[in-house]
Chains A and B, each alone.
Chain A
Amino acid sequence: MDTIAAIWDTIFTNPWLHGLFFGIVIATVALTLVAWSIWFERKLAGRMQNRVGPVFVGPAGLLQPLADALKLMRKDFVVPREADKALFILSPVLLMFFALASLAVIPFGPDTVIADLDLGVLWVLAFAGLMLFPLWMAGWTSNNKYALFAGMRAVAQGISYEVPMLLMALVPVIYAGSFNLQDIVRYQADHSWFIVWPPGPGIVAFVIFFIASLAEGNRIPFDIPEAESELIAGVSVEYAGMSYGLFPFTEYLHSMIASAMASVLFLGGWSGPVFPGIHWMLLKTAILFTVILWMRWTLVRFRSDQLMRACWRWLVPISVVVVCAAAVLRYFLLAGGAP
């Protein structure tokens, strides 16, 4: 027993081992959750369309993600002759890497966080922005017109919607006075959720942040980069097998991280009564993720110009006003007054 306790102590005190251990654990759990969230989405989509969803593989189709993964892995990996081979192979790997890197700073509980960075908000938003690079790489190096269009659309949309998303992430930062995600959650646990108090900017900021992160993750109704009816499958059109599988997989991971970020910034993260923090965090993330799926199977796609108009004419001006209002409210309403 002593040796086990000693190993445990070493893991928790050494920052490298701590990061490695929790990184592996949280990445594994997150990837498993993503795999079964695809099952959940298919089941939900089936019920929304009066179908039954997957039923054959395992009880209630629960083993369907395994079957899908197996199918994808058995397929040949084809690199088009005219493609830029190195970058073509690199882009899904980078995409996965950037998506997983955002997980590092998300606090799942009072102590359950891989890296308690002082600039956690910036870290997540930076990696969300970086995810456009592999998308563009995949679009450009595939040497395919559909993929190229998809890459261009993804970059245009991502850059535009980053602006309201960044501005709205500033609202909790202004309220809590810190870029550290743990500090933001602790502040909400001590006072109240930012979506409730101070009244006004919080809920607007939450809605706009949620919409912008949907657009950032290329989910419906903002999925014009992979519009099936126009661009077949978007940037992943030339990919086959598991290298293709990484694209939708990352999309799900990204929307899961977006839900986690929205619940951390506005819904109080792990704060909640009775149950331990991680339950509340996972519950809030799951609810927001379900809303994303719900919207996906209900709404229709924006046109490219409507998308840009909604961003620059509505979301950006509103976010600027909301950030100013948040700063004013912070001065008058929240404890501490002027920082």
Chain B
Amino acid sequence: MKYIYRSFLSMWVTFRNIFRKPVTDLQFPRTRRERADRYRTSFALVHDEHGEEACIACKKCQMICPSDIITVVAGKKAESPRTGKSRGYLDDFTLDMNACIFCELCVQVCPTDAILMTRNAPRPEFSREDLFLTREKLFANEPMVTWATATKLAEMQDPDRGQDKPASAGEESTEAEAS
């Protein structure tokens, strides 16, 4: 008896819903919601403040990438024409978006803030080859970069970095060495 009563009760609920305003007033392919600030869809390689390519081909991103999709081909070390200092140069850089898990680790490890994530629209492609982000495509994405560089992320996550820390900091470092 209880179940019959509850069935009628639930039928009353669905009946009442018919006359409510639909919550899905936004019809997706025709009208889209504005993208959130922290939206991350793709990658870019950037130039540094001297107008040179910021990447020094240290291969840290290639090492840390969990899906092993970044390939860095390092060029020869040379003297920078702008600053006069010796630094590494990039011969080729490929990021395979087929397997990217958007963990942002490559951005976080970059010592020169050379690789960043971007907010440009996600582009479905017709072939897998189109999902390979070559060096040219990555530099073309540069205008769409977000604020999140490796330096700023590190500051945000650990504001005390590089300063004198409380005692607990020492323990952490010994743990890291042990492991």
Q: How many of B's residues come within 8 Å of A, CB to CB?
A: 15
Name B21's closest neighbour in chain A (CB-CB): A50
Encoded as 1 (CB less than 8 Å from any A CB) or 0, chain B from 1 to 25 comes to: 0000001001101110110111111
The answer to whether A51 touches B24 (Cβ under 8 A) is yes
Name B13's closest neighbour in chain A (CB-CB): A298
The answer to whether B27 touches A298 (Cβ under 8 A) is no
B13 surroundings in chain A (CB, below 8 A): 298
Encoded as 1 (CB less than 8 Å from any B CB) or 0, chain A from 38 to 68 comes to: 0000001011111110011000000000000
The answer to whether A52 touches B10 (Cβ under 8 A) is no
A46 surroundings in chain B (CB, below 8 A): 22
Complexed CA–CA distance, A2 and B62 (Å) = 90
The answer to whether B14 touches A294 (Cβ under 8 A) is yes
Complexed CA–CA distance, A295 and B27 (Å) = 27
Within the complex, the shortest CB–CB distance from B163 to chain A, in Å, comes to 53
The answer to whether B10 touches A298 (Cβ under 8 A) is yes
Query: Is there a chain B Cβ closer than 8 Å to A297's Cβ?
Result: yes
The answer to whether A47 touches B10 (Cβ under 8 A) is no
B23 surroundings in chain A (CB, below 8 A): 50-51
Q: Among B11, B14, B22, B24, which residue has the most Cβ atoms of chain A within 10 A?
A: B14
Complexed CA–CA distance, A52 and B15 (Å) = 15
Encoded as 1 (CB less than 8 Å from any B CB) or 0, chain A from 155 to 199 comes to: 000000000000000000000000000000000000000000000
A294 surroundings in chain B (CB, below 8 A): 11, 14-15
Q: Among B7, B18, B21, B27, which residue has the most Cβ atoms of chain A within 10 A?
A: B18
Name A47's closest neighbour in chain B (CB-CB): B18
The answer to whether B18 touches A48 (Cβ under 8 A) is yes
Whether A50 touches B10, Cβ cut-off 8 Å, given contacts A55-B27, A294-B15, is no
Complexed CA–CA distance, A55 and B15 (Å) = 21
The answer to whether B17 touches A49 (Cβ under 8 A) is yes
Encoded as 1 (CB less than 8 Å from any B CB) or 0, chain A from 204 to 241 comes to: 00000000000000000000000000000000000000
The answer to whether B11 touches A51 (Cβ under 8 A) is no
Query: Is there a chain B Cβ closer than 8 Å to A6's Cβ?
Result: no
Query: Is there a chain B Cβ closer than 8 Å to A299's Cβ?
Result: yes
Q: Give B110-153 interface residues, CB cut-off 8 Å to A.
A: none
The answer to whether B22 touches A47 (Cβ under 8 A) is yes
Complexed CA–CA distance, A299 and B7 (Å) = 7
Complexed CA–CA distance, A294 and B13 (Å) = 11
The answer to whether A47 touches B17 (Cβ under 8 A) is yes
Q: Among B10, B15, B23, B24, which residue has the most Cβ atoms of chain A within 10 A?
A: B24
Complexed CA–CA distance, A248 and B2 (Å) = 32
Complexed CA–CA distance, A294 and B18 (Å) = 10
Name A48's closest neighbour in chain B (CB-CB): B14
Complexed CA–CA distance, A227 and B15 (Å) = 24
Complexed CA–CA distance, A126 and B96 (Å) = 63
The answer to whether B10 touches A299 (Cβ under 8 A) is yes
Q: List 28 A-B contacts (CB under 8 A).
A: A44-B18, A46-B22, A47-B22, A48-B14, A48-B17, A50-B17, A50-B20, A50-B23, A50-B24, A51-B22, A51-B23, A51-B24, A52-B22, A52-B25, A55-B27, A56-B27, A294-B11, A294-B14, A294-B15, A295-B11, A297-B14, A298-B7, A298-B10, A298-B11, A298-B14, A299-B7, A299-B10, A299-B11
Residues of B within 8 A of A (CB): 7, 10-11, 13-15, 17-18, 20-25, 27
List 5 A-B pairs, minimum CB-CB distance, nearest first: A48-B14, A298-B14, A47-B18, A52-B22, A50-B23
